[in-house]
Amino acid sequence: MRTEVAIIGAGPAGLLLSHLLAQDGIESVVVEIRSAEYVASRIRAGVLEHSTVELLESVGLGERLRREGDEHRGIHLQWPEERHHIDFVDLTDRSVWIYGQTEVQKDLVAARASAGQEIHYEVTDTALHDLDTERPYVTFTDVDGVAQRLDADVVVGCDGSFGPSRGAVPDSVKQSWERVYPYSWLGILADVAPSTDELIYAWHPDGFAMHSMRSSTVSRLYLQVPNGTDVADWSDERIWDGLATRLGHGQDGWQLNPGPITEKSVLPMRSFVQTPMRHGRLFLAGDAAHIVPPTGAKGLNLAVADVAMLAPALAALLRKKDPTLADSYSDDALRRVWRCTHFSWWMTTMLHTSDDPFDAQLQLSQLRWVTSSEAGAAGLAENYAGLPIGF
């Protein structure tokens, strides 16, 4: 097989890239290790930044988002006895939208299907070859067990944190940075109307908690738990009790309404960045190049920003033989990556508790400043609602 751009991974980064390239008349083939159903049902992100929404809308992917998504002006930040609203719209004139990654994925799959995009699901043995030549290629075994070779002008690794692309950059070239946090999130999805209008991020001596949502009838909530926690140790009752305590049930008359839990999982948290995001004819985008802890809601938005910068760079490289944007892609993308890496680290370390009473006082002092100083609040708002793509 031959194409212009071989894309590894059919998550949001890979599918949005194929969509953006097609708008520039560039052909791509996508290979994905999982089934279409599995990719579509993975429950992950829920918050879209202002620029993500604008970009999706500008490329014909905003119709259902505007209709079914929910625009939020800001978030609530709280600690025992206090809850404060940070209004992003007042502070920065930018909002965020609640629209699940599962929905973004469905919209992308539908758009690519109607355009006749070639996507190979359930492949195995994906491997990248000759990346430092002008004729790179990808090999894989297709769903019928047939060995395939896909020749391309460019290979893009959109294969998330466990794919082979990141490792295809030689050790002599790459550098990586990592922070593993000493806690995880226990996340639940529940068939109950959200007990809040906008997201609540809560600091509590028992640990962080968050109240998010997916729709007017589905809530998404998280609890800080120790690493290595087994979900089996957390009955539904224990989860709702923990959430009620940490989110302040009863405080100023506020109530947390429990409901049937439909999904429960534990996710570890880490920050990771690998540079450069380009090696020869291989480009990395999204979680393949960087991981952030979910506290700042940045992962999906970073993946979108990467491919929004990469698509015009590849169009200039392949159509006009102009390598300028492709040459600066890694540096351009990494400016935003490091900003979001810092922001998500900052949100994470401000809100998750440890055994250290000194740290707790610093966290509370920081929370009081962020919620009482306009400069403090504006800094959080600007980062959370998101800087313009290519800032």
Q: Which residues are catalytic?
A: 72, 201, 294, 298, 384
Residue span binding ligand RFL (CB under 6 A) among the ranges 108-116, 158-166, 275-283, 383-391: 158-166
Three-state SS letters, the chain:
CECCEEEECCCHHHHHHHHHHHHCCCCEEEECCCCHHHHHHCCCCCEECHHHHHHHHHCCCCHHHHHHCEEECEEEEEECCEEEEEEHHHHHCCCEEECCHHHHHHHHHHHHHHCCCEEECCCEEEEEECCCCCCCEEEEECCCCCEEEEECCEEEECCCCCCCCHHHCCCCCCEEEEEEEEEEEEEEEECCCCCCCCCEEECCCCCCEEEEECCCCCEEEEEEEECCCCHHHCCHHHHHHHHHHHHCCCHHHCCCCCCCEEEEEEEEEEEEEEECCEECCEEECHHHCEECCHHHCCHHHHHHHHHHHHHHHHHHHHHCCCCHHHHHHHHHHHHHHHHHHHHHHHHHHHHCCCCCHHHHHHHHHHHHHHHHCHHHHHHHHHHHHCCCCCC
Residue span binding ligand PHB (CB under 6 A) among the ranges 104-112, 288-296, 301-309, 366-374: 288-296
Per CB under 6 A, 157 contacts ligand RFL: no
Question: Minimum distance between the CB of residue 50 and ligand RFL, rounded to whole angstroms?
Answer: 13
Per CB under 6 A, 261 contacts ligand PHB: no
Chosen from ligand RFL, ligand PHB, none, partner binding at 103 (C-beta under 5 to 8 Å by type): none
Chosen from ligand RFL, ligand PHB, none, partner binding at 295 (C-beta under 5 to 8 Å by type): ligand PHB
| Residues within window 205-224 making contact with ligand PHB, judged by CB under 6 A | 212, 220
Per CB under 6 A, 100 contacts ligand RFL: no
Per CB under 6 A, 340 contacts ligand PHB: no
Contacting ligand PHB (CB under 6 A), which of 21, 47, 104, 307?
A: 47
Per CB under 6 A, 164 contacts ligand RFL: yes
Residue span binding ligand RFL (CB under 6 A) among the ranges 72-80, 87-95, 148-156, 290-298: 290-298
Chosen from ligand PHB, ligand RFL, none, partner binding at 39 (C-beta under 5 to 8 Å by type): ligand RFL
Contacting ligand PHB (CB under 6 A), which of 17, 297, 317, 334?
A: 297
Binding site for ligand RFL (CB under 6 A): 8-14, 31-34, 39, 44-47, 101, 123, 126, 158-160, 162-164, 187, 267, 286-287, 294, 297-301, 303
Interface residue list for ligand PHB (CB under 6 A): 45-47, 199, 212, 220, 294-297
